[in-house]
Copies of this chain bind each other. A is one copy, B any other.
Amino acid sequence: MKRTSRDIRTANRYEVLRQIIAESPTSRQELAATTGLSLATVATLVGELLDLDMITEVGFEESAGGRPRGLVAVNASGGALIGVDIAETYVHVELFDLGLNVLARAEETMRPGESRPDKVVAHVAAATGSVVAQAGVEAARVLGVGVSMPGQVDRATGISEYAPNWDWHDVPLLDLLSEHIAYPLYLDNPLRACAVAELWFGAARGHGDAVVVILGTGVGAGLILGGGVHRGVSSSAGEWGHSTLVLDGRLCHCGNHGCVETYVGAPGIMRNLLELSPDSPLLHPGDQTATIDALAAGVAAQDPVAVKVLKDMARYLGAAIADLVNVLNPEVVVLGSWVAARLGEPLLREVREEVARHALKRPLAATSFVLSSIPTDPACLGAATLALEGALQSVGQRTTKRTTLVRSRTAPPS
């Protein structure tokens, strides 16, 4: 979508708060220097954030030969944010302060057959209630709940349009959740959640163009383009896991053949292993996590089958990541999510080599390849950050006094 002046004001608000969270305390002058915004713009945005109690004045620093400069810092206790990571086998919920430090965690395990919307909603509601209680925050201080839901989601309507692993179609997820959760709710999918987490707190920070490659059960790419998350016209960009790598190759659940995901998603890796060595003790049928853990251990022990499976995966992945490098010419490619975290450095090394075999020299030379450095669940952190972005986006629509902001929300749950 086209950027309006309103989008630009919002993006600038994000940029200033991001910088304050990253480096507190800081001055308006430093913020102007780092963000490239004018001092007047920074002063206005800092004023808005002060009015919202998201940041506070914390004293002065001497400036060489000038007036002392006012310092501001994030007001960690100025509000709370909740991130919800809905995955195939669990619901993971974290509550954060405004510095995005985790104050409380809750995890609900979902057994097979529990994937009905009402069951999932009950798990999310229970875990959300739990983190608020654990952290002991007043309900009025919760600025929002971000929900990361796999598959195709419609952010505007809060509908899960299509969740392939559960075969959900057009489930009004936010409406169902709002019967149990009275905080403002924001829906997006893990690609965008992880991208925004990397943009605010990870390897994409400070980069205009970055790709966050998500390697889990599903596979996709969160895109940071022009300094912000690229969502596309119907908020479904990033489905690189469903681009064709092997024409007429493996059948994918999306209906296409030869999708990247069918070769480098966890089930695809298991299939690669099965085809290579059907009786391998590395293979734990029906258990993706155990299999990937066994592979990681096998690679560390230089088990030849494990090493071959890693190389095969990297061969597919390298060609597919080279496509992103050639098409988008990003500054950094971040490998994230649980499969990337478990296979770690050996995977990164192989992928670097394989990308070099496929990509054009000029874009390749401009790109660095790293593992995600976010220590906790990036989808939770990202979902909470999306809630923070949501709260910041609505600043202009409400008055900027925090008391009014709180009153304008629906009542907290009893």
Contacts and interface: CB of A to CB of B under 8 A. Distances in A.
Given A237-B328, A363-B234, A365-B234, A323 B243 contact: yes
A385 interface: no
A243 B326 contact: yes
Interface string A1-36: 111111010010000000000000000000000001
Contact of A326 (B2, B207, B239, B360): B239
A326 B363 contact: no
A329 B153 CA distance: 13
Given A362-B161, A366-B236, A244 B242 contact: no
Interface stretch (A43-51, A221-229, A334-342): A221-229
A245 interface: yes
Contacts of A161: 362
Contact of A322 (B244, B326, B360): B244
B323 A235 contact: no
Given A226-B2, A320-B244, A362 B162 contact: yes
Contacts of A324: 327
Given A2-B208, A322-B244, A363-B236, A327 B327 contact: yes
Interface residues of A, number: 67
A244 B208 contact: no
Given A152-B360, A362-B234, A322 B246 contact: no
A240 B362 contact: no
Given A3-B227, A5-B38, A226-B230, A360 B242 contact: yes
Contacts of A365: 234
Given A4-B37, A242-B360, A243-B322, 13 more contacts: A4-B36, A162-B362, A221-B327, A226-B230, A232-B329, A233-B330, A233-B367, A240-B323, A244-B323, A256-B359, A323-B323, A324-B327, A327-B327
The 4 closest A-B pairs by CB, nearest first: A232-B329, A243-B323, A234-B366, A2-B208
Contacts of A226: 1-3, 225-226, 228, 230
A232 B36 CA distance: 19
A331 B233 contact: yes
Interface in A166-224: 206-209, 221, 223
Interface in A238-257: 238-240, 242-247, 249, 254, 256
Q: How many of these chains are in the complex?
A: 2
A239 B327 contact: yes
A41 interface: yes
B366 A227 contact: no
A311 interface: no
A233 B362 contact: no
15 contacts: A2-B208, A2-B227, A223-B327, A225-B226, A230-B328, A232-B328, A232-B330, A233-B329, A233-B330, A233-B331, A234-B362, A236-B362, A244-B358, A245-B245, A246-B247
A231 B36 contact: no
B231 A2 contact: no
Contact of A1 (B209, B230, B233): B209
B2 A36 contact: yes
B237 A361 contact: no
B363 A232 contact: yes
A168 to B, nearest CB: 13
A351 interface: no
B237 A363 contact: yes
Contacts of A328: 230, 232, 237
A324 B230 CA distance: 13
Interface in A309-333: 316, 319-320, 322-324, 326-331
Among A233, A256, A316, A320, the most chain B Cβ lie within 10 Å of the Cβ of A233
Given A36-B2, A161-B362, A362-B161, A209 B233 contact: yes
Contacts of A239: 326-327, 329, 360, 363
Contacts of A11: 3
